[in-house]
A and B are shown apart, each in its own frame.
Chain A
Amino acid sequence: MLFLRADTNSEVRKTSYTELADLVAAIEELGEEDGWSGELTFRISLVVDELAQNVVDYAYIDTPGDVEVAVTSTDETVVIEITDEGKPFDPLTEAPAPDLTSPIESRPIGGLGVHFTKTLMDDVEYRRESGQNRLRIVARKVK
């Protein structure tokens, strides 16, 4: 189960989604309501998509569980907190760095999701706390 808790202008909503695509669609809807630029909405949707997929693929590899995505929007930033109760998994250090320079024939497949996060977001932090993996991502609204 995936949750989105959105906090924009103090209005808190909590909704659950069973499909990642629905969660990403909800993020896009939220961005539209909150007046994000199309480019910001794309970046945030992509990063949430990649990181939530990682949680499903790695933290919950043995036992499925919940992923909570909380979005807090201020005048200058969007802060996204992704929390799960799966096994300890820090994508920022455990995901291998992608090879971005080899020619086609030897370019390895994969490793791009976390790279997108590091490249497209302004700040990313991981903490393991109270049996939870917690990722906090910050995107500035104006570059």
Chain B
Amino acid sequence: MGINAERADGTVIAKADGRIDSSNSREFHSELEAVVADSDAALVLDFEDVAYISSAGMRVILLTAKSLQKSGTKFALCSMDDSIREVFKISGFDKIIEIHQSQAEALSAVGA
């Protein structure tokens, strides 16, 4: 698991890769916290290279969503494969976090 991030005009695009599970969810959380600042307008988290996520990773997604909501930073996810999309759906996270088909759509939705 790793995160590559770039920032343009207050929008952070973070691309995670590999597997997000109980063995690395703390690291995932701290890396995610490190790439975004309270002053950023938006965070787009790209799942294109994520192969797997368990409830430990979903916990980090929810904590991040809560924290970004407090700082007024928009949060959008994108490019999930069907299995990961299903995990978000059965968690009920697709009702509280924006999920887009592509990074371009996610960027457009957050106004970048």
* A142: Cβ under 8 A from any B Cβ: no
* A26: Cβ under 8 A from any B Cβ: no
Q: Give the distance in Å from the alpha carbon of A107 to the alpha carbon of B96 in the complex.
A: 9
Among the 9-residue stretches A36-44, A67-75, A80-88, A130-138, the one with 4 or more Cβ atoms under 8 Å from chain B is A36-44
Instruction: Name the prevailing secondary structure of the A interface residues.
Output: helix
Instruction: Name the prevailing secondary structure of the B interface residues.
Output: helix
For B19, the closest partner residue in chain A by CB is A21
Q: Which interface residue of B52, B54, B87, B96 has the most chain A CB atoms within 10 A?
A: B54
Of the candidates B52, B69, B95, B96, which one forms a contact with A42 in the assembled complex, judged by CB atoms under 8 Å apart?
B52
Interface, chain B (partner A; CB < 8 A): 19, 21-23, 52, 54-56, 58-59, 62-63, 65-66, 69, 82-83, 87, 90-92, 95-97
Listed A/B pairs (7) with beta-carbon separation below 8 Å: A24-B21, A39-B82, A49-B21, A101-B95, A109-B62, A113-B54, A116-B87
